[in-house]
Structure 1
């Protein structure tokens, strides 16, 4: 799951915000929003699913993300609001549709955050040889740190965001440079050991890595020149993110650093193979910090979404409860903490796998992006190429959506439940 900056309640009329974000800062924010725990987890997992042919899935997803990211950018310049995609959908299709998108996001976070926690534990296990009890303890510690810090009102500031992005990029360069000398031609044969359908399944799984292009939309008001810098920063960020992802995927396949439990910590495994245990430990510690930062930011964002939904009457009132002393959304935090903890327990006892959790989260986010693409088709009519980009985004996302399998029904169930609940709401 990628790094997302939590948004504070803003008031431009009160002069609380200044237009200070330029293109360099924007690229840092976007790269941090998209390039997070996915680079730690997905190269090995995708290779396990499709073998060396998973590289084709990486290329395909990198191409798909271009129109999707640009569509989000165009909508952001037109509707610079903290609501992100839910705001776009609300403007296009009304408050009910916007609320459904908000709930999809709220559902995806307590399902996705345990994946990040387990990823941190997997890297710690690989780097330091932890046993099962130690791995469970690390996973629980990640959740504990994340929910405690959010309760205390802590959130990632822009300086911390830059540090996290620098750590991610530094680890990737370090790993790829150390692993490339160990690549062999034999690692690429057979190229598609599980068939070509597995490439589509890998692509659907890789959607996890490209979530986050909507994450900076709520900062559009703080851009010095959003119409110019947003689009430029998105294009540059696409190039940076795609190259970094593909480099790690290529190194993972080329060194055969996947398969079995090693698929969940391929970066640390690569460094242990090529450089030694000290390098693997360095990657493990950095990966742990990245995972904590990612989970912390997403939980903070989801708690605010819960608060917003409750304030608008689209969620139970308790989700909008604020701490009297700290003004933190403890109602939303409590809800997310309970669901995330239960999810982690299910993973621990083997009732659900990381792959299944990622698929569920991906289904929710794909539905969110489908909604955003549909909103773009309606709201960008005066920009000819904007509508074209939105259509391409819609078709491409629908193509990948087909490969979700059983999880494809989850957004439909959310819509159905929302409609049923709406019938019993006062005033509807």
Structure 2
């Protein structure tokens, strides 16, 4: 049985703390924006970005969360040794796993969710009770996390969200879901049992996932508005929910990191680095959260919030990048494609060129890696975009053609779409750029 989470969850603002690099936008204390979907960053400069051509974003890799390489699933893992569960529950879990973990056409999500939900019902209502299988047991919350993931794989985000909220309601009180500082106090409590700490992190992971699914639902509504030219006023409710949970996760995680050092070490909070992370924060969790939240904030026009988060992602991945770790290098190139995009949106072409150059150097280290190869397309397109902004359409078209051919060769539809549009836009001898 799903447990309902009642009440309004207040937004209390993010703690972004200090940004670990010099001349970047300071996020400060987060203030909730107004209607979502409006542009909120106003540059003091005018020019190319105010023209029709300039309203096109750069190609950014992983900008669609459902295809995103950083999609957070760290809160989902198998729920425990089989002998923890009653015999009938074990059978259902085994059948659910057999259906869910298959590859391709052999995978049967409908059967998987049926077996898993039956297993949960038996745990909740069955006659055979075990003391270590209470409602907030890590073995029960793990099962609920798995059910939500199956629904996400099915594309049923509404149902997935029901289970995510149910999971969170078992781990956090209503007050904690309304006030992240209460969760921070628990995270930094050195006396907290390891199982409780594990569950807290699973709950934060579920909130991260909840934000992602709400964002997907909002994206779908936004596409509907665009396709049907629906100009109805008002906010996209799903984006508001996504913002709420990204805000809650970020505030809790960054608040705990800051509090860990001020409480235990009495020193200034250091820059993010895998070596400085408390035991309850993982590199994977942070990069996933920072990346996904930054992509969302860019989408709703809050580049002042997304920029520091992307820079912190680079800090966390930095040590592995220096060691030449392929996954970290190529993920870093993805982050840099977003940084180049934000710089262009802010009319900061100098920074955009720097990110594109540095990111493309990263890509060249592992040309066979999909993330690196797609990022390379992004940076080639960015070069064309900036040439176009300088009223050099012929040179821009050379870069756009290169981006188009690369996209076709690797099956990168977003790159192909953007490059095709850019070539059409610059097809005449006279540039379509309007300088105001």
Pairwise TM-score range, normalised by the shorter structure: 0.3 to 0.5
Higher relative contact order (CA 8 A, sep 6+): 1
Q: TM-score w.r.t. structure 2 length? A: 0.32
Q: TM-score w.r.t. structure 1 length? A: 0.32
Larger Rg: 2
